[in-house]
Structure 1
Amino acid sequence: MCGIVGYVGKRDSQEILIEGLKKLEYRGYDSAGVAVYTDKGLAVKKAKGRLAVLESQLGESPLRGTIGIGHTRWATHGKPSDVNSHPHTDNSLKFSVVHNGIIENYIALKEELIAKGHRFVSETDTEVISHLIADLYDGDIVRTVQRAVKRMTGAFALGVLTEHEPEKLVAVRLASPLIIGVGEGENFIGSDIPAILEHTRNVYILNDNEMAVLTRDAVELMTIEGNFISREIFHVDWDIMTAEKAGFDHFMLKEIYEQPKAYRDTMGARLNVAGSGVELNEVKMSAEDVRGISNIHIVACGTAYHAGLVGKSVIERLARIPVETDVASEYRYRSPIIKPSTLVIVVSQSGETADTLAALREAKRHGARVIAITNVVGSSVAREADDVITTWAGPEIAVASTKAYTSQLIAFYLLGLHLAQTLGTIEAAEVAHTIAALKSLPEQVERVLEQGAAIKELAEQIATHEDLFFIGRGLDYAVAQEGSLKLKEISYIHSEAYASGELKHGTLALIEDGVPVIALATQEDLFEKTVSNIKEVKARGAYVIGIALEGDDELRKSVDQVVTIPRTLGLLTPALSVVPLQLLAYYAALARGNDVDKPRNLAKSVTVE
């Protein structure tokens, strides 16, 4: 959840650390801090609030030195405050640590250290690490960190500095992402590639239970046990400008408008030249393997889970394989029935989501094959899955996911067609027809985006309300859940999504005069039933905004306002109908004066349970 950056080299580290943290604020932004080894020893400066607060303080009183670590926080243990901010130090101020994750046994360790005379000043679990390292230090920081890590349980990525060995930066990974950037006469650590991409495109991606020792001129990789590792450098080939705003007011708006490109890139060469089939070469399952699938579990969190709800319908309709969807944080704890014939599909934008990664490992433990859908090459989920479908959405910086979600939908369409082709559950003509419709989606999204000004007006109307409802049937209900989440995430309007047919089972009690209801009516086989449900809320005074197909004049008679999407196959409408809901959420948040890209209490990459 938190962001870590570190530098060792010849340049002044403070500026590099601050610029790196700016690229990581999507991971947390309630406080920030840096530790730098200066000519007077190890110095730490940290502050509650956005990174700009710390940057201002450092501008007045800079920390000069060529090795340092930095951190931007998403609070887990202890409220946001100066003292709870990272980096944390021991009582001697000789050891400094930044940490992403949770130390589950920190209370026991803290009590042990207090008994030895250590004094703690923060409410955090991280402070325990700096004290533990100081307590165990034997003159070798690498060996000491290894011993400390073996005493800690939980999830962590660490950056460690000590004044005793000021030329070394030690990094450790266990269940929280960490990468190592390799430069010339300088090296870096970071929670994510954008933090260091300005300085190097050559990285090592640490696996769990691995660590790195960085000096100005070398990087040594090893296991936590101390066994040295040889690994090829991963070269990053995407443009840093894709992680910048490119003239848009917010990253979220930029990413909404990047969706046509993300669709094209994710489909890419996976649609063969003849246009008659899907070539999903990254899924290495033989025809015999596919025929052996008895059932499928789709496991994910948040927005990715909502993509999985659409994926369930896509796979069941096309391939006729029974599919269950599960929230990853609940999956392991319900003792799911996982057989070797079960195919498990895990979905994660970052590829580092802790709950999803744990579900993946549970599936593997039971002998199931796992396919990962993720946007990050080399992520933990990508490395541990049997097969990986990479979504080529490019970096997504805004906390509220948009293009990553819709690219996941494209991945599910491709996978559903791939399975159906292999099993022969749909005719070749239907495959070709579906592919033709898929290829039209990017241009159709562009047409939806042209309605931005009208959607902004609607958003400004609903922004004055504190309660709102989304309704829909079938795939429209799946999209309604994502639309509701987007609105909650960034506008802070209380919002709920309901299957339209469930209104009569209690929810209608919440409808009163003027309550906004967003009604999705894009499924033609359910249209008449949806209109009946709309009439139910209208009869109780709701103000209804309909999402309809172009040319649908019938819905206009039953709602107050209409936003249309181009006509496409019913199965593909989610890739279009969610776009106006994304814009609605964006403009509602803007109207309420919220920080769109960094909503309160949330972070982009959720690496803790």
Structure 2
Amino acid sequence: MCGIVGGVAERNISHVLIEGLKRLEYRGYDSAGVAVIDHGDILRERRVGKVANLAEAVEQAEISGSLGIAHTRWATHGKPTEANAHPHVSGKVAVVHNGIIENYQDIKQSLIALGYHFSSQTDSEVVAHLIDHQLKTTADLLTAVQQIVPQLKGAYALGIIHTDFPDQLVTVREGSPLVIGVGIGENFISSDQLALLPVTNRFMYLEEGDIALLTRDHITVFVDGQTVQRPIKELDATVSNASKGEYKHYMLKEIYEQPEAIQQTISQALNGNVLREDFLASAVVDFARIQQVQIIACGTSYHAGMIAKYWFEQLIDLPCQVEIASEYRYRSPVIVADTLYVCISQSGETADTLAALRDTQKRAAAKHCNISTLAVCNVATSSMIRETDHHLLTLAGPEIGVASTKAFTTQLAALMLLVLKIGQVKHNISAQVLTEIIVALWHLPKVLTDTLQNDRNILALSTLFVEKNHCLFLGRGTEFPIALEGALKLKEISYIHAEGYAAGELKHGPLALVDNDMPVVILAPQDHMLDKLKSNMEEVQARGGELFVFADEHSGIQKADRQHVVYVPTIDERLAPIVYSIPVQLLSYHVAVLRGTDVDQPRNLAKSVTVE
């Protein structure tokens, strides 16, 4: 959601800025812009649409400079127009901004009273004007920024340049992610380290409230006006493996990467048919103490949490609650001692989940309530990892497609590992069950690979969805959250309205929607709910619904008129949600491709949701 790139160097950095924006396209955006300083002037280009449009404009205008900032914008305040695109300029100041300035209307009225003219509808433009006004009484850019920041309310990251300071780039992090790329004779900023990997693999991760001054040779970080040290970390080069390769879309590539991603994720915890002694060793004392689990997440991560609730309660008899972070943070939840708060996020920067975590920590401290926090996350350098007591990484590698695939299934694998570890620590799981599940986990990548062999069959089924406007997904037990996830995927990337339901709820409303034109997707693993599910299928058929069934190969479900069946390899029913994620992902993907949508960057959506 929005992306910042900036840099100060001896060379022309225009192409670095454009390349950085291209590598941030996965975040979601609707306009892009760049500004550089050249011989005392701000040279700026902005375009609606893809970064390619901006790149062409920059090349035609022959824009060059050794100090610059660039931005991809996802519209919040004001429509996607060139006037609303970043960077915003006021006098000699140019600014890029991620996040939201919540009190911008009050600031805007004050600036209008001072004679400032606003050329955009955005909240971001107030920052440029504030800095310009402050510099009328302040001698340097850094001090001016430090003085205006307390006036800003909300979550934001800023990149700021000024023609009178042609060797300085000032940046601010407050509630929105920002990283500094450390080079030799050049330094950079970005919302995501991925954007800077072509120029450096050394990074400094800013913390909340940091203000940094970058020159070609120095980086100085300030908190409340005092200098602080932030460590420089070298990133493994494998993180940069984010090309589509032979695949048409990132999403398809990432679907096919799931067997390997699962293998990587479980390997960090397993040694043969036992849990490794060093796996989450630092959390053992807290795990022994906890009496319940509270999971907080958004979107697809919330669905992963819903499945984990079944596992926590059925496998290790530990009470578990799951809540959507955007609701949880605002309803004044009761903080209970000896609770493990688990935050799930692909990026580790999800705004609502981070805010819920921080609020929970504050409320627990105020009540002197002893809790523990743990992040399940795909980014080792994220805010969520740094701000929780413990963490469990999902080793999925970079996920570029907006619709999460391998991040979701690795979250499920990681959550199962967490359940097993806590069960072992609390002696709530038998050695036999523990071994059974570990053996099944080792077998899981092979089952996923075999499931992917159904791709052609699922492509054939997807042709029957192209002209549809609505769809139901049904599942029972741990397949109910997969039904929700399948519906989410279909509507995210194909724009078909879809709903996921617990199949037992059919008679309580959804059955009214079933007719000859309503496709109904059924998730039918070989589990203790299968007979119940077959009864639900008959209810749909009796109303003329067309069934698309992903069924265990030994389920006994046969193909018939208006009943299409794709057979899925048998897996331990406790891991079935991971396997049944694959068919619904492939179905959604193929339907979206056939409908001609932008699969990797669906309209109105962003990969990393760093604002409310």
Structure 2 length-normalised TM? 0.97
User: By how many angstroms is 1:558 displaced?
Assistant: 8.8
**Secondary structure, aligned partner of 2:82:** coil
Offset from partner CA, 1:254-308 (integer Å, 9 cap, x none): 11111111101111131024x1235463352335x33432221110000000110
Larger deviation: 246-255 or 332-341? 332-341
Amino acid corresponding to residue 150 of structure 1 in structure 2: P
CA contact (8 A) 1:278 1:414 kept: no
Are 2:320 and 1:323 equivalent residues in the alignment? yes
Which residue in the other structure is 1:255 paired with?
254
Q: In 2, distance between residues paired with 1:360 and 1:559?
A: 47
- Note the aligned Cα RMSD (angstroms): 1.3
Distance across 2 between alignment mates of 1:405 and 1:259: 10
Question: What is the letter of the counterpart of residue 443 of structure 1?
Answer: K
From 382, 389, 402, give the equivalent of 1:379.
Answer: 382
Q: Of residues 120, 127, 147 in structure 2, which corresponds to 1:129?
A: 127
Return 290-299 or 427-436, whichever deviates more: 290-299
2:461 corresponds to 1:458: yes
- Equivalent pair of 1:279/1:418 in contact (CA under 8 Å): no
Q: Cα deviations across residues 111-169 of structure 1 (Å, max 9, x unaligned)?
A: 00000000001000000000011011112111111111111000001000011111100
Aligned length: 604
Superposed, which structure 2 residues align to 1:511-590 within 5 Å? Answer: 511-556=514-559, 560-590=563-593
Aligned runs of 1:264-279 on 2, under 5 Å? 264-273=263-272, 275-279=273-277
Residue 194 of structure 2 contacts residue 240 of structure 2 at CA under 8 Å; is this kept in 1?
no
Q: Residue 245 of structure 2 aligns with which residue?
A: 246
Q: Greater shift after overlay, 358-367 or 390-399?
A: 358-367
Map residues 385-404 of structure 1 onto 2, 5 A cutoff. Answer: 385-404=388-407
Query: Amino acid of the residue matched to residue 382 of structure 2?
Result: S
User: Which amino acid is 2:305 matched to?
Assistant: G
Letter in 1 for 2:122: T
Note the C-alpha offset of 1:240: 5.3
> Pairwise mapping of residues 3-82 of structure 1 onto structure 2 (< 5 A)?
3-39=3-39, 41-82=41-82
Q: CA deviation at 1:523?
A: 4.9
Partner of residue 290, structure 1? 287
CA contact (8 A) 1:277 1:432 kept: no
Deviation at 1:573, TM superposition (A): 0.4
3-state DSSP of counterpart to 1:239? helix
SS of 1:79's equivalent in the other structure is coil
Partner of 1:213: 213
**What amino acid maps onto 2:287 in structure 1?**
V
Are 1:296 and 1:321, in contact at CA under 8 Å, matched by a contact in 2? Answer: yes
Unaligned segments of structure 2, at least 5 residues: none
- For 1:573 and 1:63, the matched residues in 2 are separated by 54
Whether the 8 Å contact between 1:8 and 1:186 is mirrored in structure 2 is yes
Distance 1:314 1:168 in 2: 53
Question: What per-residue deviation string (whole Å, max 9, x for no partner) do you get for residues 8-48 of structure 1?
Answer: 11221110000000011122220000010012511111011
Moved more, 337-346 or 598-607: 337-346
Do residues 480 (structure 1) and 483 (structure 2) align? yes
SS of the residue 2:21 aligns to: helix
Answering whether residue 182 of structure 2 is matched by residue 185 of structure 1, we say no
Equivalents in 2 of 1:391, 1:152: separation in Å? Answer: 35
| Whole-angstrom CA distance in 1 between matches of 2:56 and 2:464 | 38
1:255 touches 1:402 (CA, 8 Å); kept in 2?
A: yes
For the 8 Å contact 1:534–1:559, the answer to whether it is kept is: no
Show the counterpart of 2:112.
Answer: 114
What one-letter code is carried by the residue in structure 2 that aligns with 1:518?
V
Partners of 1:334 and 1:558 in 2: CA distance: 49
Q: Per-residue deviation at 1:200?
A: 0.6
Distance in 2 (CA, whole Å) between partners of 1:559 and 1:596 is: 28
Aligned residues with identical type, % of pairs: 46
Q: Is the 8 A contact 1:252 1:398 kept in 2?
A: yes
Q: Residue 492 of structure 1 corresponds to which residue in structure 2?
A: 495
- Mapped partners of 2:296, 2:121: distance in 1: 34
Structure-1 residue corresponding to 2:235: 236
In structure 2, what is the Cα distance between the partners aligned to 1:73 and 1:25?
A: 10
What is the TM-score when the length of structure 1 is the normalising length? 0.97
1:516 aligned partner, one-letter code: P
Check the 8 A contact 2:518/2:546 in 1, yes or no. Answer: yes
Deviation at 1:105, TM superposition (A): 0.5
Deviations 1:72-97 (A, max 9, x none): 0111111100100000111x2x1010
Q: Do 1:363 and 1:369's aligned partners in 2 also have CA atoms closer than 8 Å?
A: no
In 2: Cα distance, 1:278 partner to 1:427 partner = 17
What CA distance in whole angstroms lies between the structure 2 residues aligned with 1:286 and 1:488? 41
Alpha-carbon distance in 2 for matches of 1:146, 1:28: 30
The letter for the 2-side match of 1:494 is H
